[in-house]
Amino acid sequence: MARLRRRRRGRGRVYVLLGLLVVVPSVFYYFYTEIRPTVIFGLRDDYAHAIPFQDVPAGLDSLSAESCGQCHQAIYEEWKTSIHAHAYRDPFFQAYWKKDGYVWVCLNCHTPLENQQPTLIKEIPNNRVERAVEVENPRYDMAYQEEGVTCAACHVRDGKILGPFDDSAAPHPTEYDPAFRTTAICYRCHNVVSGPFQFYNVGPCGTYAEYEGEFFMKEQGFTCQHCHMPEISRPVAEGGPIRQGRRHLWRGGHDPEMIKRAVAIQVRADPPNPKRGEPVTMTLTLINAGAGHKIPTGDPDRHFTVEFYVKDRTGRILEQQTDTMGRWIFWQPVILEVYDNRLLPLASRDYEFSYELPEAGSDLVLEARVQYHILTDGQHTMLRETYGLRSDDPYRYTIYTRQFPLNDKLATALSTERPVEARLGCPAQENGVHPESPGPVRGHHDLLTIG
């Protein structure tokens, strides 16, 4: 009898195990195919679909940027240098897009007009991107797709050219749109939101949501355009009246000079005059002095590293320390942002490194370095080895580096460090001028300090 009960218990365990082997994979399959999004963001109505097809306004021969440039030559030349113009051809985008299986939804920001897309999306069942009903787009213009975020993406709607002026005289229909004077014009593509089972602090590309409105917007009256489209006085079109307009540059996270102008850096020592054989603590203060949003912002892979190296006369590294500023995210089985130590607008953070000065005279140096990374080394290697990235475009920039002697000359070297001074506001100035040495506007003690 006991043997029979043991046999039944044994069979019961087998049935339970078999049941688990069937149920658990089924649950995971259902989760990944019916619940968890296949892309790392959620769909919002305005960017879940392309901007509707736009006809060529009367008086124009084409929607191409080159056609616009016949009259708006200066703006066209600026646009050609921008990341907007290269939004589709950008090698990093192309590699990531290949990794994501050339999913259609990415095009809604990188080539936002229906005119630029090979298929039309008729339906998105249950917001499942992979189940979208796609049909061939008979009006697709392959050459136009290459223009990325082209002029018409922002300025052409319903046969009219939209813009920030209400008194335009032009050979084509025009209409004043107040959105061009607010942050609303940037909202569609720079405020990508979370989807189901995606637990970001903000969206994966949530620069718009990070914008700090209290000082920059209310006190200074700044919008996104103040930094990324610097003001300039010039004719909007050839032969037109001089207006206070904006440069079409959109410099940002891919421009090392823009990054340098957004931060202020100071290095100091404690004690300020260390003696031989005495430990000294070097402190590098990094300040978000010029960006109205967190730094870094945009793609979750972007980050800063603050690095200290002790080197001998041959450049050999004897000791080093690296700290990282960015976002830490688990991607599986759900997206969970576990840590975010990026700097808020006007915030600062101290990074410390301690080292004992040698007893004897020394030719050792301490090198302090700050680098900005568009993506991680691992991601870059993966894109090159697996997804065809062949660009030589840099994916990390050194935005600050300096060497300090670890001897009795240290105090003298530190005395030549520029004081912590930065414009509280964006790095762009009138007429697009970016002075090398912005004047002080508020002391370090007035800044918000984050530990």
> How many other CB atoms are there within 10 angstroms of residue 27's CB atom?
10
Name the residue type at position 347.
A
Q: What is the pLDDT of residue 197?
A: 93
pLDDT higher than 80, residue 76: yes
Question: What percent of the chain is predicted at pLDDT more than 90?
Answer: 68
Whether the ω angle into residue 296 lies within 30 degrees of 0, i.e. cis, is yes
Q: Which has the minimum average pLDDT: 102-111, 140-149, 203-212, 225-234?
A: 203-212
Q: Which has the minimum average pLDDT: 82-86, 421-425, 443-447?
A: 443-447
Q: How confident is the model at residue 16 (pLDDT cuts 50, 70, 90)?
A: low
Taking each helix axis as running N to C, give the angle between helix 377-386 and helix 91-99, from 0 to 180 degrees, rounded to the nearest 10.
Answer: 80
Least Cα distance to 103 among 46, 38, 44 occurs for: 38
Q: Domains in the chain, please, with CATH?
A: 41-175 (no CATH), 261-440 (2.60.40.10)
Q: How confident is the model at residue 447 (pLDDT cuts 50, 70, 90)?
A: very low
| Three-state SS at 110 | helix
Q: How confident is the model at residue 294 (pLDDT cuts 50, 70, 90)?
A: very high
Averaged confidence pLDDT in the chain: 87
Q: Which has the minimum average pLDDT: 129-138, 215-224, 333-342, 419-428?
A: 419-428
Q: Given CA atoms 362, 363, 368, 374 in this order, what sign does their dihedral have?
A: negative
Name the residue type at position 389.
L
Least Cα distance to 228 among 210, 255, 206 occurs for: 255
> How many other CB atoms are there within 10 angstroms of residue 60's CB atom?
21
Kindly state the average pLDDT of the residues 222-230. 92
Name the residue type at position 172.
H
pLDDT higher than 90, residue 366: yes
The alpha-carbon radius of gyration of the chain (Å, integer) is: 27
